[in-house]
């Protein structure tokens, strides 16, 4: 009984840190995320069809380790990152001093349901492992729609509901999505659903065992 309770507390603490990393444990969790999610970054960035001069927003960048991959995707990119965790904003600034100094990267603290950007600002918006935490996804998608340029694309990648079962902390405050869920949400929020790509990830080590997870990368577009 006590063992079960302690395990539940541990899983809840991990879930809280994944939602909003904070302090020393937040930095540790962020480094683990870098290991577990690099493949998803490579995959998603390829699907985004990034071109020279694009203005790109990442929502929920963790410690910002992968901005350098994004900056290499094309010439003259203007990248903005937004995250609501003070700890992650600080880490992302420390991890990307050169790109920030020369104006290619701007790091902002804020929430995706209240984006501090003008209408029609971005050619591409993306987030990886973030949509689980949206209690009211419509509010976030309305904001994303507002700040996307016409014909701009929004890409989001999340683990499949089946894969989330291998990660017991996802029982605490994570919302999973099927392709049908995402089609419906996109339609409701004026985003044209383009496709959902199944991502077969390489095996990852998770708490002493090897797990094989799959993710879905959803791609949508603003009509006008
Ligand atoms: C699970 S981590 C994912 C980090 C990274 N994208 C990855 O896949 O490794 C979620 C990140 O999104 C941020 N986040 C969660 N909800 C957010 C929201 N509504 N607005 C802004 N940032 C958010 C958290 O602070 C955290 O840095």
> pLDDT tens digits for 77-87?
999 999 999 99
pLDDT over threshold 90, residue 189: yes
Rounded to 5 degrees, φ, ψ at 57 are -115, 130
Segment 3-39, tens digit of pLDDT: 989 999 999 999 999 999 999 999 999 999 999 999 9
Question: Atom of ligand 1 at shortest distance to CA of 133?
Answer: 16
Per the model's pLDDT, the better-predicted residue between 211 and 160 turns out to be 160
Amino acid 205: pLDDT? 77
Amino acid 211: pLDDT? 85
Ligand 1 mean position, distance from CA 60 (Å): 3
The pTM assigned to this predicted structure is 0.97
Element (H, E) at 196: strand 191-200
Question: Which whole number is the average pLDDT over 99-106?
Answer: 98
Question: Atom of ligand 1 at shortest distance to CA of 134?
Answer: 19
pLDDT over threshold 90, residue 208: no
Amino acid 215: pLDDT? 98
**Cβ atoms < 10 Å from Cβ of 183:** 16
Ligand 1 atom 20, closest CA: 111
Measuring from each residue's beta carbon to the nearest atom of ligand 1, which residues come in under 6 Å?
A: 18-21, 33, 37, 59-62, 82-85, 88, 111-112, 128-130, 133
Residues 6 or more apart whose Cβ sits within 8 Å of residue 208: none
Ligand 1 mean position, distance from CA 74 (Å): 24
Percent with pLDDT over 90 in the chain: 92
Ligand 1 atom 9, closest CA: 33
pLDDT over threshold 80, residue 73: yes
Name the pLDDT band for 204 (thresholds 50, 70, 90). confident
Ligand 1 mean position, distance from CA 1 (Å): 33
Residues 6 or more apart whose Cβ sits within 8 Å of residue 17: 25, 26, 29
Percent with pLDDT over 70 in the chain: 100
Amino acid 44: pLDDT? 98
Ligand 1 mean position, distance from CA 59 (Å): 7
Tokens of residue 133, six digits: 């935490």
CATH of domain 2-222: 3.40.50.150
Ligand 1 mean position, distance from CA 130 (Å): 5
Question: Atom of ligand 1 at shortest distance to CA of 20?
Answer: 25
Mean pLDDT of the chain: 96
pLDDT over threshold 80, residue 206: no
Pocket test for ligand 1, best of 59, 60, 116, 157 (most atoms within 8 A of CB): 60
Amino acid 209: pLDDT? 81
pLDDT over threshold 90, residue 74: yes
CA distance readout (Å), 210 to 41, 158, 171, 216: 20, 19, 20, 20
Q: How far apart are CA 152 and CA 74, in angstroms?
A: 16
Ligand 1 atom 11, closest CA: 60
Strand residue runs (E) in the chain = 55-59, 78-83, 105-109, 122-128, 148-159, 191-200, 204-206, 209-211, 214-222
Question: Atom of ligand 1 at shortest distance to CA of 37?
Answer: 9
Segment 47-67, tens digit of pLDDT: 999 999 999 999 999 999 999
């Amino acid at each position: 009984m006590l063992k079960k309770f302690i395990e539940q507390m541990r899983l809840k603490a991990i879930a809280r840190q994944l939602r909003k990393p904070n302090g020393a444990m937040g930095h540790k969790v962020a480094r683990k995320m870098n290991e577990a999610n690099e493949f998803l970054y490579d995959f998603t960035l390829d699907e985004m069809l990034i071109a020279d001069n694009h203005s790109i927003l990442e929502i929920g960048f963790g410690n910002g380790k992968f901005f350098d991959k994004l900056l290499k995707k094309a010439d003259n990119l203007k990248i903005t990152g937004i995250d609501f965790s003070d700890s992650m904003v600080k880490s992302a600034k420390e991890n990307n001093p050169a790109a920030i100094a020369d104006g290619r990267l701007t790091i902002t603290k804020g929430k995706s349901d209240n984006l501090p950007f003008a209408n029609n600002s971005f050619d591409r918006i993306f987030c990886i492992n973030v949509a689980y935490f949206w209690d009211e996804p419509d509010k976030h998608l309305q904001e994303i729609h507002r700040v996307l340029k016409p014909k701009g694309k929004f890409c989001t990648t999340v683990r499949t509901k089946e894969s989330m079962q291998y990660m017991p902390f996802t029982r605490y405050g994570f919302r999973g999505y099927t392709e049908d869920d995402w089609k419906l949400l996109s339609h409701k929020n004026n985003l044209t659903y383009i496709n959902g790509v199944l991502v077969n990830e390489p095996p990852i080590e998770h708490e002493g065992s090897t797990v094989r997870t799959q993710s879905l990368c959803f791609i949508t577009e603003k009509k006008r």
